[in-house]
Chains A and B, each alone.
Chain A
Amino acid sequence: MTGQTPTILLGGALTSTATLAWMFFKNEQAEMRHLKILTLVSMAIIAAISLWLWFLIFTDDFTTYYVAQYSSRDLPAMYKISVFWAGQAGSLLFWLLIHAMIGSILAYHNAPMKAMGVYFSVQCLLNFLVVLNSPFWENPIAQDDGFGLNPLLQDPWMAIHPPLVFAGYAILAVPLSLSLGNLLESSSKKWLEPARKWTLIASVLLGAGIFIGGYWAYKVLGWGGYWAWDPVENSSLVPWLVSVVLLHLIILSKKKSAVLPMAHIAAVFTYSLVIYGTFLTRSGVLGEFSVHSFASSKISLAIALVNAIIFLGGLLIILIKAKDFPRGRMYENFKDPAYATLLGMLMLVFIAIVVWLGMSAPLILQFFGKAAAVSPTFYEAVTKPLALIMAAIMIYIFVKVGWQISFGGKIAHLGVLAGVAAMIISAQGETVDRIFMNNIEVDVFGHKFTYNGQIFETDSCRKFYVFNVDGQEVRALTKLRENGDDAAREPAILRNFTGDIYIAPNPNSFRPQELILDKGRFQMDGEIGYTFKSVEVKHVDDKYLESITAEIEVTDGVTTENVQLLINFRREGAISYPVEFLNGKRRIRLIGVSDDRLKLRLEILPTLEEISQLPIIATISTKPFIWVLWLSAAAVCAGTLAAVKK
């Protein structure tokens, strides 16, 4: 039931999209009314499939493999929405959904027929990828609960980051289609204005997605700050940079016809780089080079094929039409602002090439024998001078012809300038590791730090490291796994006008003591006495372990309690739940039982009270004026958005 209907619907969507592409190419104006309705039908099918997936997620249908992989019963509703795009199959479907929605908008805005033909051809390719990698595949095993969403990703910022990026990706197909459609129909400049608007919208969404991703990476631990030059970050940065180049070339083309061929080429490159980034992060080739764990995917070959079709097909059309391009000068003289703009774009292209080369190094060098990656130092050393030259050019243009730039444009460009400055200044902070004893003041970088221990929430799902910096309390959150281990860590951040004080507490390491109990025998450990009473081992279908439940009696001489210990087995591993007893005097968990079920192996863990009193090592760093970076990112997005309406 699960897989059948949506799979048939996906086939139906593919058929309707292919029909649409073909009919648009046939260019029958008379049928336009029908075509519009057909775009709606095609979009409705894809929307129905998407709603179906959300329905399966919200009804905890773990017979669907995708739902079992990324959702769980106890996941809050907000994150159940984002389960949709938590994995590859779902994110491709989400991409297709946005693409189809934009397709209907284009049809009702009477976009040129050939452009619509190109757009729906691209939709066919995306739909084909979703058919190959459907999120509706049946779960091969019976599961009562899903594995849940990675705790690190259970964050409001992370819930909106992927849809923004994918919406940006999807909309970048519009300038590509308008560009190629225009070449196929009649080379004119009519495509430039709609392409400008759609490119602006796409780069706002993609840019906002990237910035939010960076902000999230800053406020969690383990991602190496707001930008770590990780392949997964770079693969979205490159298309965004090139989309900004495309935008400027489109604007320049309106006045200088000679720039037109470059705008067409940029449109093809932008979208091809979107697909290339998807290929790179999904192919598995980067698995050993990224903090992000990539699963190698069965559809990487198909993505590579789609990439080749779009890239080579696009360039071929441009090549065939090259003779029709208008001739002329791209700029009058070196004082022409167009010259400076082109030079600025050249810097941006260089930055994009550098990042592209760096992120593709493992893939490229594999062909030459030995795989290798480049370290972040490469990106920083090479892109910094380019960014500074670009900033200088922007200041020059501002001084020369600033009054000609729209209000939104001004805000966006000022945002970029402030952002470049903030990146350089915030990197000048200091970092040091310090040991903190409970309630003892330590002086670091002229600030007074006191560590006040750890606070556990009542349900033991989260804990906080409490610090006091210059009289102000800040807390560092750590999300906990069911077995008591750390699942996701965040720093404590004290935000000041002069910048952030960033405290990254490091997990305590302790060696748990082991205790072996013999059935029925009374044993002492310290001042606590244990008696192992019974154990029950459950199997699924008499084959796989399902759970182990043990009952022991504990006493401190005054009070006697019965304690239930539990290990739950899931396909990906076992969870042993720590139990605290005798009023928090002891905390233990079960870690094994002998074959004859006469011996139990326990682990004696520090109690929550003991943990909260342990000294810790924390990494303290300062991030001067980092808030300027967030503010400038917001300015870039707001300015770009304001520029849509000219």
Chain B
Amino acid sequence: MRKIFLAVLLIGFIAYAGINFSENLTPYVSIAEATASNKNVQVKGLLDKNFEPQQSGGEFLFNLRDEFTGETLSVKYSGIKPDRFDAAYHVIAIGKYNSAEEIFHAQKLLVKCPSKYEGQQAQ
């Protein structure tokens, strides 16, 4: 009886962990895939220099551009512009695409800089 109880508890826990695992899985996708998906994803792109990033209150807006196809994606990050954002060459946005607003809502941003000491490049 006790063994059955323990087995049920164990299976229950594995199921709970499994559901949480798949729910919180954020696949790594392209911009095209991100706009087609209604799940949490992480999308990587270059900063679109044609659009000036804006901070309005607690929201930060910027555009990502696909490195290969050139497609762009408007991203709204609920938070403040991350450190070293301007020096970034790649930005990884983690969140979900809202097709009604045509905006990607990011909860987290990972900023990838070319090196730890990149300065302003002379033109």
Contacts and interface: CB of A to CB of B under 8 A. Distances in A.
Given A375-B26, A375-B40, A506-B80, A382 B117 contact: no
Interface of A: 147-148, 150, 221-222, 288-291, 293, 334, 350, 354, 357-358, 361, 365, 370-375, 377-378, 381-382, 433, 435, 481-483, 485-486, 488-489, 506-507, 509, 511, 545, 548, 567, 569-570, 572-576, 589-593, 601, 617, 619
Contact of B122 (A365, A507, A574): A574
A382 B122 contact: no
Contacts of B44: 288
A483 B120 contact: yes
Given A288-B44, A591-B122, A591-B123, A570 B28 contact: no
Chain A interface, >50% SS class? mixed
Contacts of A354: 17
Contacts of B117: 147-148, 570, 572-573
Query: Would you list the 7 A-B pairs with minimal beta carbon distance, nearest first?
Result: A378-B24, A433-B58, A592-B123, A372-B27, A573-B118, A575-B119, A506-B80
A591 B40 CA distance: 40
B25 A288 contact: no
A378 B21 contact: yes
A554 to B, nearest CB: 21
B24 A574 contact: no
B119 A574 contact: yes
A245 to B, nearest CB: 18
Contacts of A221: 83
Nearest to A224: B108
- Chain B interface: which size bin? 35 or more
Contacts of B28: 288, 370-373
A591 B24 contact: no
A381 B122 contact: no
Contact of A483 (B21, B52, B119): B119
B27 A357 contact: no
Contacts of A589: 120
A293 B112 contact: yes
Nearest to A575: B119
A486 B92 CA distance: 21
Contacts of B68: none
Given A377-B24, A572-B114, 12 more contacts: A147-B116, A291-B110, A371-B28, A372-B27, A378-B21, A483-B119, A488-B83, A574-B120, A575-B120, A576-B119, A589-B120, A617-B80
B122 A567 contact: yes
A98 B77 CA distance: 45
A464 B116 CA distance: 22
B76 to A, nearest CB: 14
Contact of B25 (A374, A486, A569, A572): A374
